[in-house]
Amino acid sequence: MLDPRLLRSFVAIVDTGHFTRAAERLGMTQSTISQQLGRLEESAGHPLIDRAARPVRPTAMGERLLGHARRILQLDAEAQSLLKDPAGTAAISIGVPEDLATRSMAQGLARFAASNSRIRLDVVTGLSRDLASRYRQGEFDIVVVKEDQPAPDCRASFPEPLGWFAAPEGAVEMCDPLPLVTFPVGGLYRETMFRELEAAGLRWYVAFSGSSLQSVLAAVSAGMGLSLLPLSVTPGQGLRRLDGMGQAAPMVVSLYAREDNEPIGALVELIQAVLATR
């Protein structure tokens, strides 16, 4: 591997045509720059500078090396500049349920990123129970989850009203048993849905289980079944609210943060403001 310091001396000698001028350019003595050239020539196994020429010039092998030497020095300078730039070197991990990873949330995080280039935001979406478990295990710095009741260390919480929805056409709610569109096992709405229907003495079966909010909304809109959904996600989705299914108790959206340093505090305030406007 060729030492960039030796290559820098070689290039300076070629550019100036003189050992003394090259030494002055690099801020070293003439003997030092001569020693560095000698070490490079020893490593290369060939003379690289014709010392008898006036001004001195590269040998044939030196000419072959020169272009590569300049590129190596350019890459070395770029690497050093990159290492001095702190952009993206500090990570903050955030867990958010899929339906809360909205455009307004993304815009808020974008504003934070624009004013904090040193910080990289690692955002993960998923089911609330999984996100909460991973937060308790130390995987996230900040997490937003949906739950029945907030824990004592909750930074902020907001009500999440729920409602029953079906396709705009048809009367799927008249079926017996009722076909349901649900999230996967472990999803909060799924268990709440089952509990509400069983309390009402209604029979049901899972007709469709979707792993994403969009798949659940699409299945309900297509008439595959009815579902219990947050009111905040249904506008503009072509769904019909079922008023005769009873009133499900609202959940809460809870915000948790592990530390209380300045960047995390700023993010908590930002996320809290976004959630408050839903």
CATH number at residue 143: 3.40.190.10
Helix residue ranges per DSSP H, 143-187: none
pLDDT at 127: 85
Helix residue ranges per DSSP H, the chain: 4-16, 19-26, 30-44, 60-84, 103-115, 128-136, 188-199, 213-221, 262-276
Same domain flag for 67 and 181:
no
- Which phi and psi (to 5°) does residue 277 adopt? -95, 5
Domain termination residue (choose one: 60, 84, 108): 84
- Which phi and psi (to 5°) does residue 248 adopt? -75, 140
Domains of the chain: total: 3
Same domain flag for 172 and 242:
yes
Same domain flag for 150 and 269:
yes
- Which phi and psi (to 5°) does residue 160 adopt? -125, 85
Of the candidates 270, 262, 275, the residue with the CA atom closest to the CA atom of residue 118: 262
Same domain flag for 192 and 215:
yes
152-182: burial string, b at 16+ Cβ within 10 Å, e else? eeebbbbebebbbbbbeeeebbeeeebbbbb
Q: How far apart are CA 196 and CA 213, in angstroms?
A: 21
DSSP SS3 for 37? helix
What single letter denotes the amino acid at residue 275? L
pLDDT at 188: 75
Q: What is the CATH classification number for the domain harbouring 55? A: 1.10.10.10
pTM of the model: 0.66
What residue numbers bound the domain in which 132 lies?
90-160+252-276
Same domain flag for 110 and 72:
no
- Which phi and psi (to 5°) does residue 209 adopt? -125, 120
120, containing H or E segment: strand 119-126
- Which phi and psi (to 5°) does residue 195 adopt? -65, -45
Residues 170-228 pLDDT 10s:
889 999 999 999 988 877 788 889 988 998 899 999 999 998 888 999 999 999 999 99
Give the rounded percent of residues in the chain with a pLDDT score beyond 90: 59
Same domain flag for 127 and 261:
yes
Q: How far apart are CA 5 and CA 37, in angstroms?
A: 10
Judging by DSSP bridges, how do beta strands 240-241 and 142-147 pair with one another? unpaired
Domain termination residue (choose one: 64, 84, 104): 84
Residues 136-149 pLDDT 10s:
999 999 999 999 88
Task: Say yes or no to pLDDT of 1 above 80.
Answer: no
Same domain flag for 25 and 80:
yes
Same domain flag for 166 and 244:
yes
Burial class (CB in 10 A: 0-12, 13-18, 19+), 251: buried
Same domain flag for 103 and 209:
no
Domain termination residue (choose one: 27, 61, 84): 84
Residues 63-92 pLDDT 10s:
999 999 999 999 988 888 777 766 556 789
Same domain flag for 155 and 256:
yes
Same domain flag for 101 and 217:
no
Mean pLDDT, range 262-270, rounded to an integer: 90
Same domain flag for 166 and 153:
no
pLDDT at 268: 93
Angle between helices 262-276 and 103-115 (to 10 degrees): 150
